[in-house]
A and B are shown apart, each in its own frame.
Chain A
């Protein structure tokens, strides 16, 4: 990631000035030991729960455990996973969700933040409001949507509002076309608070004279957003976009709770849900590991492209 590499200083060398000769070397050795002593806890955790599982995941994806005996099976798990009829549907759904969430969940908080940043009154109140849903346990928020908002009959909150406004009602989670938008709405409602606050912080750092200058140049409201606000918050926007995409690609709890898993006619099946199905319902942890590796490759390819694009702009 561009941000990361840009801020890691390239300099190396001992911290304290040390006398020359043998003492220096000994000193250096001791400093190294101290340094690694400070590192060891985190390194162990990374090793146990990140680096080792990565290798293990790849190994597992080429094995199969039956009757407590593990054997090498080559590409069998991959073949089984890719030929799983839900495989492509799950990817399609996941990308669709990610895209929709990007439009709604990424753009909306940015404009909400811009709006909130302009107000001189009720600032604290509005901020608390936006952040409030973040404090609900995710399952709580989703059951609220499932039982009350997305009721397919006219008793549901959303349908009641639509009826009141004389608009056509929807069956929400029971309609294959509305499943995804409905999940994105719920997900955005319960998650956007964090992004709004981060944008607000970024907006407050934009020097006021930039707007002043732009206005003197005759730039209207949109032009000012386009030429001042967005370039000034570009880094944060890029970072959050990345984080959001990685997060939404892991879509899981929304389909699990809102759609009871796969949703109507597989319209909610996500890749993460498929991993869960294979690993924990279908007695196929090896297949689930293979699917995890595939997901890793897709995300790696994606971040390579993303890095390429974002460094090009620099």
Chain B
């Protein structure tokens, strides 16, 4: 074989074999900071998806308005799905370093974000000058995004769990809409009546799969005054009278009264689908689940109200809370960080603008008046402004949430290793909801052993 031909073959093989590297290079996003015209570009994720039409329109309008006000900043919005931190994708983006410049994270993600080494310490940048309402932001919430005295994220939302209930179904069952259940025995009674009024309706619905079962078990446990882990976080602490009560309540409703529907193994979307279809009387959740029911699952917000989380003998002793925020990618320039903060300040932290633009949201098919996102500390200036605006523009009766708002229950955060523990607790939840002969003590004991094992192995 002649030399030129040999070269041709080798070249062909090399191109085929290595050529990808050239092409692959071009697929890597190139959105490095400042361009020639002196404009600063930042990418931001968690843009609403097309299915959330109004939210998306609002977001896009905000971007436009913000860029008008700040002609030197370009915001590139990226949508990452309906749930902004869907775990496998979130992990992929963190591990691969393909997060946007300013990226969404849930409060319990801090550890993972830090482990990935992707987050920037923004302590020097965040103050009253960059975010005018910063001093009004709830300090507890700032604490959530702080590690070792350094701030890594800007909180943009805060929530706590309550009892979400369907007023229409309440009325149908002859229950007092304005006087929702305050204790679990009352919930049980109400659930029984709702299911009796319409056999296809679950009086009370609960998760038991995809780690959401464990999440709600935790919330129910807090309402009883229990805790998932001991003070030092080294042992499981839920195999107690409180834990037993949680499972017993569910078991009684599921198999004693048959008021929880036949379909179990539900996770987030399943339950909300049923709720939107008018098949769920009550469930526990944050006020914004009513938003999801309306915007994603085509339910009616007129149906829904939120009451404080019930407890065993009185209102709950504690309720699960959490928050969301935005992190900043590690290699951003000073200008990019400042641009990002400016955007967050505008869209997330200014009463009357962005997510607080209640005037705009009011006529949209979107509930206004929810006691949420509870970003600002009680009594702060921003909180007062936000509250007045919300009240003035509410399109849902504020009374629906009055009780929830006035009876602020103590908020308890999630345990460490939350997802791993939730995965274990799912099994206890599914046990009590799918097996009529399930033994509450055994389920708890098994789960306790597993969690202890997990904690021992993890440390």
Residues of A within 8 A of B (CB): 30, 33-34, 37-41, 43-45, 65-69, 79-80, 83-86, 151-153, 171, 173-176, 259-266, 276-277, 279-283, 285
Q: CB < 8 Å: which of B14, B18, B117, B427 contacts A265?
A: B427
Instruction: Known contacts A67-B115, A67-B117, A265-B431; decide if A152 and B263 are in contact (CB<8 Å).
Output: yes
How distant is the Cα of A95 from the Cα of B333 in the complex, in angstroms?
Answer: 52
- Nearest-CB distance from B57 to chain A (Å)? 30
- Nearest-CB distance from A141 to chain B (Å)? 19
16 contacts between A and B (CB under 8 A): A34-B6, A34-B9, A37-B12, A41-B13, A41-B17, A45-B17, A83-B453, A84-B457, A85-B453, A86-B450, A152-B264, A174-B430, A260-B267, A264-B431, A265-B430, A279-B91
How distant is the Cα of A273 from the Cα of B417 in the complex, in angstroms?
Answer: 18
B419 A174 Cβ-Cβ under 8 A: no
B427 A259 Cβ-Cβ under 8 A: no
B117 A260 Cβ-Cβ under 8 A: no
Q: CB < 8 Å: which of B16, B91, B111, B265 contacts A263?
A: B265
Interface of B is mostly: helix
A265 B435 Cβ-Cβ under 8 A: yes
Q: For A41, list chain B residues within 8 Å (CB).
A: 13, 16-17
How distant is the Cα of A260 from the Cα of B10 in the complex, in angstroms?
Answer: 50
* Residue ID in chain B nearest A41 by CB atoms: B17
In the complex, the number of residue pairs spanning A and B with C-beta atoms less than 8 Å apart equals 133
Instruction: Confirm or deny: B230 has a beta carbon within 8 angstroms of a beta carbon on chain A.
Output: no
How distant is the Cα of A66 from the Cα of B115 in the complex, in angstroms?
Answer: 5
A85 B454 Cβ-Cβ under 8 A: yes
Q: For A85, list chain B residues within 8 Å (CB).
A: 424, 449-450, 453-454
A44 B17 Cβ-Cβ under 8 A: yes
Residues of B within 8 A of A (CB): 1, 6, 9-10, 12-14, 16-18, 87-88, 91-92, 95, 111-112, 114-118, 208-211, 262-267, 270, 417, 419-420, 423-424, 426-427, 430-431, 434-435, 449-450, 453-454, 456-458
Q: CB < 8 Å: which of B18, B265, B435 contacts A260?
A: B265
Q: For B265, list chain A residues within 8 Å (CB).
A: 173-174, 259-260, 263-264
Q: For B449, list chain A residues within 8 Å (CB).
A: 85
Q: CB < 8 Å: which of A40, A68, A84, A277 contacts B13?
A: A40
B115 A262 Cβ-Cβ under 8 A: no
A262 B457 Cβ-Cβ under 8 A: no
Q: For A153, list chain B residues within 8 Å (CB).
A: 262-263
A264 B435 Cβ-Cβ under 8 A: yes
- Nearest-CB distance from B454 to chain A (Å)? 6
* Residue ID in chain A nearest B117 by CB atoms: A68
Instruction: Known contacts A40-B14, A67-B114, A85-B424; decide if A264 and B208 are in contact (CB<8 Å).
Output: yes
How distant is the Cα of A79 from the Cα of B112 in the complex, in angstroms?
Answer: 21
- Nearest-CB distance from B259 to chain A (Å)? 15
